Amino acid sequence: MNVRISDGWKRLLGEEFEQPYFAELAEFVRSEYCGGVIYPPAANIFRAFDKCDPEAVKVVIIGQDPYHGPRQANGLCFSVSDGVPFPPSLMNIFKEIEDEFGTPRPSTGNLDRWADQGVLLLNSVLTVRASSPASHSGHGWERFTDAVVSRLNAERAGVVYMLWGSYARRKGAVIDRSRNLVLECAHPSPLSAHSGFFGCGHFRKANDYLVAAGNEGINW
């Protein structure tokens, strides 16, 4: 199947695109976009991959499914486009970064600037029906993104994985912790941020690990 995704990821994931489950997933997604309002815009489904080639990945942050409100989802987990108000989880992420580094919160929730530095902002499910969270779960996206994590783990070492919440921790169970840094804590949602996300120090720990290995840290 000819999937519009960057060449680096096509090399890494090409076998997945030929699997029967992926053909069924593609047909489901196509029919959903034809029949209603789906997020993100179709051109942005694989945007997280197009913004960050596998060879450039330094950090992986795993989300669940895209935002389901108007104008929010832009293909990168937790990210919103310029001019869109910060969702609560993203607000808490910026609060933690402010606490760790003393830097003011940014004026935009667009996380392209992270992706351009090697942060793969990966949702487990890449599409969602408007106003209907988890509506595209269970149709094959999870298997595809499991393969992303597994193949990246097999091919790359020295990567930082940020696993926030039980869902992301399960997703990252395959990661070889002897070759990578795995950081786990509560999800930044307002329902759980005070149970371990605030004060986790993940962003500074990630940079310390990268710098110790001779790489450049992320300008969060």
Catalytic machinery residues = 65
- Contacts of residues 7-10 at CB distance under 8 Å and 24 or more positions apart, as own/partner, are 8/53, 8/54, 8/55, 9/46, 9/49, 9/53, 9/54
| Residue 103 DSSP code | P
Q: Which amino acid does the sequence have at 181?
A: L
Coil/strand/helix, residue 186:
coil
Q: What H or E segment, with its residue span, contains residue 216?
A: none
Task: Please answer whether residues 110 and 81 qualify as being in contact, where contact means their C-beta atoms are separated by less than 8 angstroms.
Answer: yes
Q: Extract the tokens encoding 89.
A: 């989880």
Using CA of residue 207, residue 97, residue 109, residue 75, what is the dihedral sign?
positive
Distance from C-alpha of 6 to C-alpha of 54, rounded to nearest angstrom: 10
Alpha-carbon distances of 105 from 2, 79, 93, 113, 202, rounded to whole Å: 40, 14, 10, 14, 17
User: Who contacts 90 (Cβ-Cβ below 8 Å, separation ≥6)?
Assistant: 78, 79, 80, 109, 188
